[in-house]
């Protein structure tokens, strides 16, 4: 059980929620501010003054006053009418993360909900009630309305959910979990759907995966450098300290440590006629380091957003105020930044793959890394696959945050597009994992041909982890499952861990 403190929950706790099927509850310190805000809303609901989201319609219909006896029906209608999502369902880990983020937002005590609403989400997480949330339908303002409505629908006994691996309607799901639907009070429906938690959860999931991929790229890049007998001179500390970028300095230092003790490297310090390596080898700290800096920048933004109150209106001791915290522009920018980093990590890695399979550039490795070229094609088409994935990621990296379209009768006339900006990152991380998986296969094969010269001990450990599941390539064979296996090792961080990599976000 994770105890979450709204406003102070760090990324490492959020990653545990994403990667592990653990329950989560808010700290008891949240009860007082939550109750205070709910009391303010309750008084407003009983008054005659129109207060947006409490006793009025929504969006363009905000000028319509709702009678006190209709407030519960108003909130239920809001949820049901906003369940308009389409497309494939959000995966369970990201759905759980989204629910936890909603807890963090409500727990700040500025949304005006009862503790009963918070307890419903906590119980769903604990008892494995996972709402089925279509992934398309949000433009990232005013909040992720449709996706969060699908989450909330299950809380009130509507919609659909997974429980114990079975798909069923919301009422059945709650009953199977020993729970009951709740009736939403004033403002509670709006508080639940008016926020950025869907977009933020998708962006965080991509950030967590992207960081593992960046770590793996450090290992595969070093393997490739040894495979083509590249120089470590460009890793000298002075070069990188003179430029001063943190990511570049740390990447160079990590690569030096990974390659320490390589007999392959020592074998060609003298008598090598090559003056310089291609940029995909020589400029790894500059490129991967810049990507690392981007990921860290995005991490700062997303950690702030994960702890933010993003519904509307907001409840403060001074009153209830309508604002625009639901606008997911920070998340959209963070998603675009992550996309740029993923695309560039893949672009330079693909060039290293191309280098290794090309006999004119690989420093005497056999064509396409096969022992019998001509009769065998080796990794020829595996390299083509990486080119396809690299190009696809370049297109997917086109910014989403620069797009906007007016919605809701021009009331919501500028939107962030954070939702699909973050959603496309899942596809990009999958593509990059495959690129790096192929690089690992090619680099391990290339190092195999350098025998009896040995690579660095830490790199040899990474190769051993790969070889435990994928043998060296001899005659041509069916490669697709091996590429999938290598990509899975990359995504799981197995090669980085085998190499003893210490490189933290």
Please tell me whether residue 481 adopts helix, strand or coil conformation: helix
| 184, 312 Cβ separation under 8 angstroms | no
Reference 394, options 357, 427, 436; nearest CA is 427
378 vs 216: CA distance, rounded Å:
23
* Residue 449 bears catalytic tag: no
Helix (H), strand (E) at residue 169: strand 166-169
CA dihedral of residues 334, 335, 336, 342 (deg, nearest 10): 110
Q: How far, CA to CA in Å, does 166 sit from each of 19, 126, 170, 172, 177?
A: 21, 17, 12, 11, 12
Provide the pairing of β-strand 2-4 with 24-26.
parallel
Q: Which residues pair with 131 in a beta bridge?
A: 161
Q: How far, CA to CA in Å, does 17 sit from each of 130, 248, 306, 489?
A: 14, 30, 13, 21
Tokens of 272: 């090598």
Alpha carbon 261 to chain centroid, angstroms = 35
397 vs 399: CA distance, rounded Å:
6
Which of 52, 379, 449, 478 does the annotation list as catalytic? Answer: 52
Which residues does the annotation mark as catalytic?
Answer: 52
């Amino acid at each position: 059980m994770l105890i979450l403190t709204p406003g102070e929950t760090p990324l490492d706790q959020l990653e545990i929620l994403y990667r592990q099927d653990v329950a989560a509850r808010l700290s008891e310190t949240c009860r007082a501010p939550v109750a205070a805000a709910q009391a303010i809303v309750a008084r407003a609901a009983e008054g005659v003054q129109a207060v947006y989201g409490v006793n009025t319609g929504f969006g363009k219909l905000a000028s319509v006053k709702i009678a006190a006896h209709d407030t519960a029906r108003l909130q239920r209608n809001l949820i049901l009418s906003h369940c308009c999502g389409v497309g494939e369902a959000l995966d369970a880990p990201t759905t759980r993360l989204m629910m936890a983020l909603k807890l963090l937002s409500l727990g700040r005590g500025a949304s005006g909900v009862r503790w009963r609403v918070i307890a419903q989400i906590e119980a769903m997480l604990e008892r494995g009630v996972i709402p089925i949330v279509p992934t398309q339908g949000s433009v990232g303002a005013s909040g992720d309305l449709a996706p969060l409505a699908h989450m909330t629908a299950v809380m009130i006994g509507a919609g659909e959910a997974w429980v114990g691996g079975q798909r069923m309607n919301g009422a059945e799901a709650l009953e199977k979990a020993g729970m009951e639907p709740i009736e939403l009070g004033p403002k509670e429906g709006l508080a639940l759907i008016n926020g950025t938690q869907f977009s933020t959860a998708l962006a965080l999931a991509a950030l967590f995966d992207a960081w593992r991929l960046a770590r793996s790229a450090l290992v595969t890049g070093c393997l490739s450098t040894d495979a083509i007998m590249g120089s470590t001179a460009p890793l000298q500390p002075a070069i990188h300290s003179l430029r001063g970028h943190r990511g570049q300095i740390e990447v160079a230092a990590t690569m030096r440590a990974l390659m320490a003790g390589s007999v392959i490297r020592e074998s060609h310090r003298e008598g090598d006629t090559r003056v310089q390596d291609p940029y995909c080898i020589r400029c790894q700290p500059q490129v991967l380091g810049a990507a690392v800096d981007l990921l860290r920048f995005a991490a700062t933004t997303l950690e702030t957003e994960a702890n933010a109150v993003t519904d509307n209106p907001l409840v403060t001791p001074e009153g209830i105020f309508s604002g625009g915290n639901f606008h997911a522009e920070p998340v959209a920018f963070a998603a675009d930044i992550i996309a740029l980093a993923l695309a560039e990590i893949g672009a330079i890695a693909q060039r290293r793959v191309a280098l290794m399979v090309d006999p004119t550039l690989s420093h005497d490795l056999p064509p396409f890394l096969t022992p019998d070229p001509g009769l065998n094609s080796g990794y020829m088409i595996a390299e083509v696959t990486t080119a396809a994935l690299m190009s696809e990621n370049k297109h997917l990296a086109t910014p989403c945050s620069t797009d906007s379209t007016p919605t809701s009768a021009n009331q919501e006339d500028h939107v962030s597009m954070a939702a699909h900006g973050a959603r496309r990152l899942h596809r990009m991380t999958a593509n990059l994992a495959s690129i790096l998986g192929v690089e690992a296969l090619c680099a391990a094969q290339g190092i195999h041909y350098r025998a009896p010269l040995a690579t660095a001990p830490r790199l040899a450990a990474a190769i051993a982890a790969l070889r435990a599941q994928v043998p060296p390539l001899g005659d041509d064979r069916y490669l697709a499952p091996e590429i999938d296996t290598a990509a899975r090792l990359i995504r799981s961080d197995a090669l980085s861990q085998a190499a003893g990599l210490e490189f933290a976000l």
